[in-house]
Amino acid sequence: MRCMSYPSNIQDMIDDFAFLDDWEDRYMHVIDLGKGLPPLAASDKTDQNKVKGCASQVWLVSERSDEVWTFAGDSDAHIVKGLVAIVLEIFSGRSTAEIAALDANDILSKLGLAEHLSAQRANGLASMISRIKSEAAA
């Protein structure tokens, strides 16, 4: 059943995850999403772009053109890189107001990820989301 409260790309992602029966399949899907993420330029892997609060190294870069935000990111860990890809899918290509309105925790819950992440990964994911929301609000 489709919930129309989310943009189509997010709903498509929720539908894709719903199709996967068990956590191991979802885990592999997250890793595959990370493999599809374009690599971040070495020049963008700076301390300024590093997300604090992540156990793995995570970098996020943001750019605003008119009212639309574009985010890019990378990580040195496969599963975390997949989580970066999910966060970018949720927030990239949206306005400041859309970013502020999105409930990432609800989306992650619908993906069936929230309850399966270690505390460290969950904290890192929260740090990525917080960083994007605060950059968009600034």
- Establish if 112 belongs to a structural domain: yes
Question: Has residue 116 been placed in a domain?
Answer: yes
Asked if the structure places residue 124 within a domain, the reply is yes
CATH classification of the domain holding 14: 3.90.1010.10
Residue 108 burial by CB count (10 A; 0-12/13-18/19+): exposed, middle or buried? buried
3 in catalytic set: no
Instruction: Choose the catalytic residue: 14, 54, 60, 111.
Output: 54
The total of structural domains in the chain comes to 1
Contact 34, 42 (CB under 8 A): no
On whether residue 39 sits in a domain, the answer given is yes
What is the C-alpha to C-alpha distance for residues 23 and 20, in angstroms, rounded to an integer? 8
By residue range, what is the domain housing residue 41? Answer: 8-137
Residue 2 is assigned to a structural domain of this protein: no
Per residue in 40-80, pLDDT (tens digit) is 999 999 999 999 887 789 999 999 998 899 999 999 999 89
Contact present, 124 and 55 (Cβ < 8 Å): yes
Tell me the CA distances in angstroms from 36 to 10, 55, 76, 125, one per residue in order: 17, 22, 14, 19
pLDDT of 5 over the 50 cut: yes
Instruction: Provide the whole-model pTM.
Output: 0.90
DSSP secondary structure letter of residue 58: E
